[in-house]
């Protein structure tokens, strides 16, 4: 067990002392696009057009009931995927089995892989290779946005950004390592439990097949205050929820409106504070 832990630490612990401040205005505008996925066509059209985009497609896939928007401006296209909104989406969330994804060459959460495949098959013919592209989404939508980014990367598109909000994990250690080059930013709140699921199981740890996040994690701690982390420190945030039963506080922490409010508060003034796991394992401090 100690050897496995040290392997994970030295393989995936990456310095997060970034030299530049996150662009919270861009993150907020991206969150507005993600929020628009929960609205009906006319409202979605109005929301994205007010941000300088054109709505090209507003569609709910019949197989998975996953809804997505394809929007564009002069230089970019963006795919935004709706989060959990109905019973069919819940079934996608609960399909936790990792399965090989032949096109990507890695294992992916079965439900998210199927949802992303259905979006990819519908949207691919509508993409413009002369434009850069980015993906986004909240909750389930964030997970699908990450898998879509993997497909876009494999297909050679100009993927410039993937930003997710309250996104659950989509792949394992090997999968995260294979796509560590993706321009992925995961925005979370401290009490949102969705980003720490699927949970860690002893069987997965023994096989070194742990569900694992990629990209940088921006933690919106409170108004105007944030932290950044990734790798094993991000994974170990789950330890803070082990003995806690989820309640309304956790539900509120996951709501899109909570993300929008906290991001907006960071635009004019924000302070970064170090994230501390406060954990010591086998005499090795995680901080």
Helix (H, G, I), strand (E, B) or coil at 107: strand
Q: Which pTM does this prediction carry?
A: 0.87
Helix axes 110-123, 140-154, angle to 10 degrees: 60
Of the candidates 234, 269, 168, the residue with the CA atom closest to the CA atom of residue 16: 234
Pairing of the two strands 284-285 and 67-72: unpaired
Residue-wise pLDDT for 39-88, tens only, equals 999 999 999 999 899 999 999 998 788 999 999 999 999 999 998 754 44
- The domains located in the chain, with CATH, are 2-285 (3.40.50.1820)
CB 235 within 8 A of CB 168: no
Q: Which residues of the chain have a pLDDT value below 70?
A: 1-19, 85-96, 198-209, 238-245, 278-287
- Whether omega before 106 lies within 30 degrees of 0, making that bond cis, reads no
In Å, how far from its chain's centre is CA 230?
A: 12
């Amino acid at each position: 067990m100690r050897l496995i832990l040290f392997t994970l630490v030295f393989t995936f612990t990456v310095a997060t002392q970034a030299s530049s401040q996150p662009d919270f205005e861009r993150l907020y505008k991206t969150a507005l696009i993600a929020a628009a996925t929960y609205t009906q066509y006319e409202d979605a059209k109005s929301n994205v057009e007010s941000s300088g985009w054109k709505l090209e497609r507003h569609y709910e896939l019949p197989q998975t009931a996953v809804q997505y928007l394809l929007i564009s401006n002069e230089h970019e296209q963006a795919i935004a995927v709706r989060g959990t909104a109905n019973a069919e989406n819940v079934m996608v969330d609960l399909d936790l089995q990792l399965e090989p994804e032949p096109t990507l060459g890695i294992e992916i959460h079965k439900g998210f892989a199927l949802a992303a495949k259905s979006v990819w098959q519908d949207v691919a013919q509508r993409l413009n290779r002369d434009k850069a592209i980015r993906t986004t989404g909240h909750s389930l939508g964030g997970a699908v946005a990450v898998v879509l980014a993997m497909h876009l990367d494999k297909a050679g598109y100009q993927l410039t950004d993937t930003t997710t909000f309250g996104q659950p994990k989509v792949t394992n250690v090997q999968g995260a390592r294979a796509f560590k080059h993706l321009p992925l930013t995961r925005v979370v709140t401290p009490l949102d439990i969705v980003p720490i699921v699927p949970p860690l199981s002893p069987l997965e740890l023994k096989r070194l097949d742990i569900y694992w996040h990629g990209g940088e994690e921006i933690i919106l701690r409170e108004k105007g205050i944030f932290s950044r982390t990734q790798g094993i420190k991000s994974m170990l945030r789950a330890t803070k929820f082990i003995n806690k039963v989820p309640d309304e506080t956790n539900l509120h922490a996951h709501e899109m409106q909570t993300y929008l409010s906290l991001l907006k508060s960071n635009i004019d003034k924000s302070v970064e504070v170090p994230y501390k796991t406060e954990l010591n394992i086998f005499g090795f401090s995680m901080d």
